[in-house]
């Protein structure tokens, strides 16, 4: 029998669909004011439903909505560790994690980069962890590629797989909301090492001459093919921003902006604003670039593109752009929209614009 801890951050990821880019501190209250819906519930349930060796596990869990409720729903035996009040805070996560360390063999947490930092502060390298992705950004390499992969990592741990130290990145959310990505190494956590199940850490954007020339070529290619009857939704990133820069439009580097007839008609959009545009415009395309290092095109850092938005737009209206240098370091493109049904519709091969009139095929995996 393995003793496994479970801690769920109930507010993680809530800021994504409403465009807040995170819920650290009191930002989750603003997310609630904007009618954001919790997402950790479905992510936790998906994770638990895919564990194969559940009969070989004794669970220790945080109380109530931080873990207990889900195990009770699945009729899984567990022991509750610690206490929480009405509002959950980072301090609750840290305190419960510290209390669990002496009782468990492995700690599973559901959250984003902020939760990963809290777990590092409390646990460090004392116990291995499995990180179920449920935040907005999730640039740290401790995370599984999706909840199903996290469940498989637990099964691998039970079978005795090796451990490896992976990075926890500290993202400045205030800077992130102001179009600046300040990421620093916060520390390391031990994880069961199954490479195909773990996402890679985010790579910094390259500024060498060859990369900049490729971005210029991508911009020329996309602009040359733009149709005045189509609304274009440009996702985050320096590659998509190179396109709007060439159009002399002021794009938010880390947000979603809308362009129609080469004019900006929406800036730093959230899901609700995108859905309103879909009702107004008959033809819509998404222009997106993969995150350097881990290859995610949906599900990391651009949660405004919810599975509902993607379902309505369709795979045939998604344009992926990326420099050859970035793509060479990826073995595939990744998606984790929160809907397995939608993820499966995006699987397969897709053309990626890599330069002026240059494309290459990349596999999309969920």
Does position 36 have pLDDT exceeding 70, yes or no?
no
- What was the pLDDT predicted at 207? 73
The arithmetic mean of pLDDT across residues 198-227, rounded, is 90
Sorted by where each begins, the domain ranges of the chain are 2-197, 209-365
- pLDDT on residue 32: 54
Bridge partners of residue 17, in order along the sequence: none
Residue 145 to residues 73, 151, 338, 355: CA-CA distances in angstroms? 25, 11, 11, 28
Least confident range from 96-105, 203-212, 271-280, 330-339: namely 203-212
pLDDT tens digits for range 294-312: 999 999 989 999 999 999 9
CA angle centred on 305, ends 221 and 253, rounded to 5°: 55
3-state SS class at 103: coil
Q: How many CA atoms lie within 13 A of 362 on its CB side?
A: 30
Confidence band of 183 (pLDDT split at 50, 70, 90): confident
In this structure, are strands 358-365 and 348-355 parallel, antiparallel, or unpaired?
Answer: antiparallel
pLDDT tens per residue across span 41-94: 999 999 999 999 888 899 999 999 999 999 999 989 999 999 998 788 899 999
Does the domain at 2-197 match CATH 1.10.10.10? Answer given as no
Distances (CA, A) of 192 to 128, 151, 152, 155, 318: 7, 11, 10, 10, 34
State the residue for tokens 């902006």: 257
- Among 362, 360, 353, smallest CA distance to 223 is for 353
Query: Could you count the other beta carbons within 10 Å of the beta carbon of residue 144?
Result: 25
What percent of the chain stands above pLDDT 90? Answer: 78
Residues 303-358 have pLDDT tens digits of 999 999 999 999 999 999 999 999 998 999 999 999 999 999 999 999 999 999 99
Cα torsion 152, 338, 255, 322: sign: positive
Across 11-37, average pLDDT: 60
How far apart CA 130 and CA 192 sit, in angstroms, is 7
The torsion angles phi and psi of 54, rounded to 5 degrees, stand at: -65, -25
Looking at residues 270-297, what average pLDDT do you find?
A: 96
Contact 289, 244 (CB under 8 A): no
**Residue 134 to residue 113: CA distance in whole angstroms:** 9
> What's the rounded mean pLDDT across residues 203-212?
80
Task: Give phi and psi for 186, each to the nearest 5.
Answer: -95, -35
Model pLDDT, residue 20: 57
Query: What letter would DSSP give residue 203?
Result: P
């Amino acid at each position: 029998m393995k003793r496994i801890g479970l801690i769920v951050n109930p507010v993680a990821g809530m800021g994504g669909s409403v465009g807040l880019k995170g819920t650290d501190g009191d930002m989750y209250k603003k997310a609630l004011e904007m009618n954001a819906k919790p997402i950790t519930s479905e992510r936790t349930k998906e994770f638990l439903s895919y564990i194969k060796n559940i009969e070989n596990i004794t669970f220790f869990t945080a109380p109530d909505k931080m873990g207990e409720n889900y195990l009770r729903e699945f009729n899984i035996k567990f022991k509750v560790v610690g206490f929480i009040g009405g509002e959950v805070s980072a301090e609750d996560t840290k305190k419960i994690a510290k209390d669990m360390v002496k009782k468990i063999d492995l700690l599973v947490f559901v959250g984003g980069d902020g939760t990963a930092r809290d777990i590092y502060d409390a646990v460090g390298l004392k116990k291995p962890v499995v990180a179920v992705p449920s935040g907005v950004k999730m640039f740290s390499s401790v995370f599984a590629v999706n909840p199903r992969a996290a469940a498989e990592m637990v099964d691998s741990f039970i079978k005795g797989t090796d451990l490896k130290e992976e990075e926890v990145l500290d993202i400045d959310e205030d800077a992130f909301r102001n179009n600046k990505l300040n990421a620093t190494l916060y520390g390391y956590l031990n994880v069961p090492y199954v490479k195909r199940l773990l996402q890679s850490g985010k790579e910094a954007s390259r500024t060498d001459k060859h990369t900049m020339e490729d971005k210029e070529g991508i911009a020329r290619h996309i602009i040359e093919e733009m149709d005045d009857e189509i609304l274009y939704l440009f996702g985050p990133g320096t590659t998509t921003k190179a396109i709007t820069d060439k159009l002399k439009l002021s794009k938010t580097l880390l947000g979603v902006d809308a362009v129609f007839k080469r004019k900006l008609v929406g800036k730093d959009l959230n899901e609700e604003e995108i859905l309103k545009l879909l009702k107004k415009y008959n033809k819509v395309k998404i222009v997106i670039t993969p995150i350097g290092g881990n290859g995610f095109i949906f599900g990391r850092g651009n949660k405004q593109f919810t599975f509902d938005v993607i379902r309505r737009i369709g795979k045939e209206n998604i344009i992926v752009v990326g420099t050859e240098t970035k793509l060479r370091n990826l073995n595939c493109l990744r998606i984790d929209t929160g809907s397995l049904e939608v993820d499966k519709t995006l699987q397969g091969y897709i053309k990626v614009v890599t330069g002026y009139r240059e494309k290459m095929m990349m596999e999309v995996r969920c």
